[in-house]
Structure 1
């Protein structure tokens, strides 16, 4: 037998020790997790791959996001807990699967954070000069900034996220609107210059612009009224995300056409305001990175605390696992892991963006396990369960597309299984006389 863990008592008089997320802040955190710096470059990459037909890929992935997002929202509303997908895996498949999937996601955030920060760092380096050293320093500063935001709790980081989301929505909307007068029908023909099969290739490029819906599950316990507000926050995030992505993608195709550069968002702003507006792209990249990292740090810190509470990590991690508390120990581990990964990138000289390849398989596995758990946990015959069926099928396709990147997750899974086996074999602590 293992000793049951007793949650830390709520600090007396601590206003942070109660769930504080409402619809607006929850939607901002969810949107921040989904949006990434890819919105700056992916519209041009997809356009070069499939021509105007890339718009079909964008629309398809927006539509496929609906069942995926609503599935995780339904799970979070019914079973709010900081463990997120790990908790649902525990309910559906047992402690072993929960531990493995929890470890995979927890470690993936540490490995992927430098890449998310590195995208913004590249824009800062281009603007200020200094090359790779500037990029690495910027990435480190962004990791530290997000850690500090979350150190003071979800109430603070949620408010900052709301301001970031509002600023980003305004900037992307302005970029789209000022470019539309320059749209030309000639840029829409031929519609599929590289054949209709190129739409699938473009979709594969765009998949990671739509990752992040799983984060809402680890933040579900932080909502004041999860059963009501998680669904509303997800709908808001879906609508805003769809409008922003489709707007920027259409403006890139119709207004820029073959002249789209590596940073089409910058080109769109230049169309409306002239060359001085190009520098705004750096600010957008920094905000996008902070938004995405903030959501993932908030979710992963709570995941680590929940894993400690449930016996899937040492009990030391369980501090702050109660809803409304700040899981500072887990957050410190995530931050240290991200900085160590960044140090490894700096020492080895590999491109910082390549660390993203270490985590692509983790997100696919999380989606497959999470949607599979939904098939067991959500009531059959409901629209939520039907959506989970579609989401599970889509996740299997995603797993197939990322199979080549599963090695890091296999290593983590083996270590998790070994740790579980040694923990089970350890003698139980003696009970009271």
Structure 2
């Protein structure tokens, strides 16, 4: 996660390659840490609930989509190694207003994504300690308060600790798969599509949450030793690792838990309990809490800084600009993110609708950013090249995902319209709009 307001190269320019320190293997680890996140501790159940065993096709489809998507963003990062990431590419291709839309989509996705992540962790705590939905809600609220207070005092989880948490998640996934696999039954694949084939699209819209992050390491492109070579290779290795892990967990959940896969609130804990027994549910809950704490910290820290940058550059009220400079704490922006997150958690808890609406609202925003990034790639990458063809395929697939999002697509559309209306209002009022030189910084919100 990073923010930047630096001016990148112009369209068609290939900047001199900076000399960084990241190797291919370190880059692969960062990619895996960015993409593997809280979704995998709960999304297998939500996807199975939406489409039954046919949800495995949605998982496979998202893994296949990850190939051109990762190739597109790694090619952009190698060609334009700038800390602004997607906003840099969108700014070069379509201008500062489009970059402002990207910033809004990231910023207002966090108040939906953070409480959903907290709810996922709360389900594991409830599975271990009992208490049902009350435990889930209390755990999610406690996590929101903890990360808000920590960020208010300028405390953040280090990148090294984030990687340790990612390794912990990989170990947990492998342990769950290996332990539960002897209990797999092929008859659990029948009926394969109990809710009809269109339900696969609904499952895919949910699963975007688990695959958001392929744009993440573009923020660190300039830190690679040889970005043009190392970044695409790291992306390819990460796609293989993440794809295999996700497919293994999803397939094991369906084959072992059967119809219960769609109702399991803590699927990894149930797989571990089946395979190992004992107090593994407590260990799974502890791992889920640690992982979610790191992830939510990344959401809050990045979004707070992003909001301050948006205020500084004229895409949000200037009141939010406090804390936008390096080393400062953006407490006003943090207060907005924290307040909206708490409101989202309260509404979904009172309405008793679960985290699924929050997931779809968040993924709708992610897919919108991906669509803008892929469209920018079509203008920035050399025509006829393999990355350009990957960008075209990715854009078509992402547009299909937008359609599958259904009514929840209204959220990113409302955010986009609001951003453009706000910029027009500022222009009419005589206030400066987004800085056409610096553009709008964006922050990657890891899951």
Say whether residues 1:285 and 2:284 are aligned partners. no
> Conserved in 1, the CA contact under 8 Å of 2:176 and 2:272?
yes
Structure 2 residue matching 1:359: 3-state secondary structure: helix
1:8-407 alignment runs, 5 A limit: 23=24, 26-128=27-129, 129=131, 131=135, 132-144=137-149, 147=151, 151=155, 157-189=158-190, 191-192=192-193, 196-221=197-222, 223=224, 225-260=226-261, 261-262=263-264, 263-297=266-300, 300=303, 303=306, 312=315, 316=321, 319-320=324-325, 326=326, 328-329=328-329, 332=331, 335-345=334-344, 349=350, 353=355, 354-407=357-410
Deviation at 1:240, TM superposition (A): 2.0
Counterpart of 1:417 (choices 417, 420, 432) is 420
Aligned residue number for residue 442 of structure 2: none
Query: 2:15 corresponds to which residue?
Result: none
CA distance in 2, matches of 1:335, 1:239: 36
> SS at the partner of 2:371?
helix
Mark the CA change 1:386 to 1:359 in structure 2 (over 3 Å): closer, same or farther: same
Q: Pairwise CA RMSD of aligned residues?
A: 3.6
Q: Do the aligned partners of 2:173 and 2:249 also contact (CA within 8 Å) in 1?
A: yes
Normalised to the residue count of structure 1, the TM-score between the two structures is 0.79
The 2-side partners of 1:264 and 1:319 are apart by: 40
Moved more, 392-401 or 259-268: 259-268
CA contact 1:117–1:143 (8 Å) conserved in 2: no
What CA distance in whole angstroms lies between the structure 1 residues aligned with 2:123 and 2:260? 22
CA distance in 1, matches of 2:255, 2:121: 26
CA–CA distance in 1 between the matches of 2:240 and 2:397?
20
What secondary structure is seen at the aligned counterpart in 2 of 1:274?
A: coil
Q: Which moved more, 1:59-68 or 1:302-311?
A: 302-311
| Residue equivalent to 1:14 | none
SS at match of 2:158: helix
- C-alpha displacement at 1:277, in angstroms? 1.5
Distance 1:103 1:85 in 2: 13
Q: d(CA) in 1 for partners of 2:203 and 2:248? A: 17
Mapped partners of 2:333, 2:220: distance in 1: 16
Q: Is the 8 A contact 2:86 2:215 kept in 1?
A: yes
Check 1:29–1:411 CA distance in 2 against 1; reply closer, same or farther (3 A cut): same
Q: Which moved more, 1:259-268 or 1:370-379?
A: 259-268
In structure 1, how many angstroms separate the alpha carbons of the residues matched to 2:343 and 2:58?
A: 36
- Displacement of 1:374 in angstroms is 0.6
Give me the whole-angstrom Cα distance separating, in 2, the residues matched to 1:299 and 1:113: 12
Q: C-alpha offsets along residues 74-123 of structure 1, whole Å, 9 cap, x if unaligned?
A: 21222122322222111111122122222222232244323222321343
Counterparts of 1:410 and 1:242, CA distance in 2: 30
- Alignment CA distance shift 1:277-1:144 (3 Å): same
Partners of 1:30 and 1:213 within 8 A in 2: yes
Deviation for aligned residue 1:307: 5.1
In 2, Cα distance between equivalents of 1:75 and 1:47:
35
User: 1:25·1:162 contact (CA, 8 Å) conserved in 2?
Assistant: no
**Per the alignment, do residues 299 and 125 of structure 1 end up closer, same or farther by CA in structure 2, a change over 3 Å counting?**
same
Q: TM-score, normalised by structure 2?
A: 0.77
Shift of 1:239: 1.9
Query: 8 Å contact 1:73–1:230 — kept in the other structure?
Result: yes
Query: How far has the Cα of 1:294 moved from its partner?
Result: 4.8
SS of the residue aligned with 2:161?
helix
Q: Secondary structure at the match of 2:213?
A: coil
Structure 2 unmatched runs, 5+: 8-18, 433-447
Structure 1 residues 246, 216: CA separation in 2 closer, same or farther (over 3 Å shift)? Answer: same
Q: Which moved more, 1:46-55 or 1:105-114?
A: 46-55
Aligned-partner Cα distance in 2 for 1:382–1:317? 43
Q: 1:405 and 1:56, CA in 2 relative to 1: closer, same or farther beyond 3 A?
A: closer
| Pairwise CA distance, 1:427 | 7.6
Q: Report the count of equivalent residues.
A: 404
Query: CA separation of 1:412/1:48 partners in 2, compared to 1, >3 Å: closer, same or farther?
Result: closer
C-alpha distance after superposition, 1:317-374 (max 9, x if no partner): 7955xxxxx56445x4553333212342466545673544543332221111111001
**Conservation of the 8 A alpha-carbon contact between 1:29 and 1:161:** no
